[in-house]
């Protein structure tokens, strides 16, 4: 339980994250499941609340594509249906355009080819598809388009 409490001190965790951490520390399955059961009873584990918080935090502070946020949630042990439901309102075109405009503002003085390459890479690294990046680049052709 102490290990679980320490993990939960830093940020919310999914049930799967706690389970993996306790198993990696060598605790027997029976002990792991008992700890998870107690944490659930205490209201300290709630996958729905965790997933909602993670998704909202990503959208607010480290925007990514819908697909990438969904993948992060699944990697953290969130059920695919819940991950899909929580990310269905994310519009990749809107997010990509906002990110591109913000990034482009700091890319003045670059040659057009360099600007396009760097901005494309920036968007691809945040999980956007080729078609979303292409649409975004047609709207933001240069740092001057941001003004």
Query: Structure pTM?
Result: 0.84
**83 & 99 share domain:** no
- Whether the per-residue pLDDT at 141 is higher than 80: the answer is no
**126 & 98 share domain:** yes
**99 & 117 share domain:** yes
Domain range enclosing 64: 47-87
**13 & 34 share domain:** yes
Please state, in angstroms and as integers, the Cα–Cα distance from residue 142 to each residue in 49, 127, 135, following that order: 40, 21, 14
The CATH number of whichever domain residue 71 belongs to comes to 1.10.10
- Whether the per-residue pLDDT at 143 is higher than 80: the answer is no
The token pair at 70 is 């969904």
Count the domains in the chain.
3
**96 & 139 share domain:** yes
- Whether the per-residue pLDDT at 22 is higher than 90: the answer is yes
pLDDT in tens, 51-97: 999 999 999 999 999 999 999 999 999 999 999 999 999 999 999 99
């Amino acid at each position: 339980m102490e290990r679980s409490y320490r993990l939960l001190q830093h940020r919310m965790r999914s049930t799967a994250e706690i389970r993996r951490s306790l198993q990696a520390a060598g605790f027997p399955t029976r002990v792991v499941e008992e700890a998870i059961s107690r944490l659930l009873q205490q209201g300290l584990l709630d996958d729905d609340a965790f997933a909602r918080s993670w998704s909202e935090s990503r959208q607010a502070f480290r925007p990514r594509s819908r697909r990438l946020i969904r993948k992060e949630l699944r990697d953290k042990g969130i059920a695919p249906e819940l991950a899909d439901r929580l990310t269905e309102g994310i519009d990749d075109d809107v997010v990509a355009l906002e990110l591109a405009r913000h990034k482009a503002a700091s890319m003045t003085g670059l040659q057009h080819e360099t600007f396009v390459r760097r901005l494309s890479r920036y968007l691809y690294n945040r999980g956007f598809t080729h078609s979303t990046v292409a649409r975004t680049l047609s709207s933001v052709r240069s740092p001057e388009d941001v003004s």
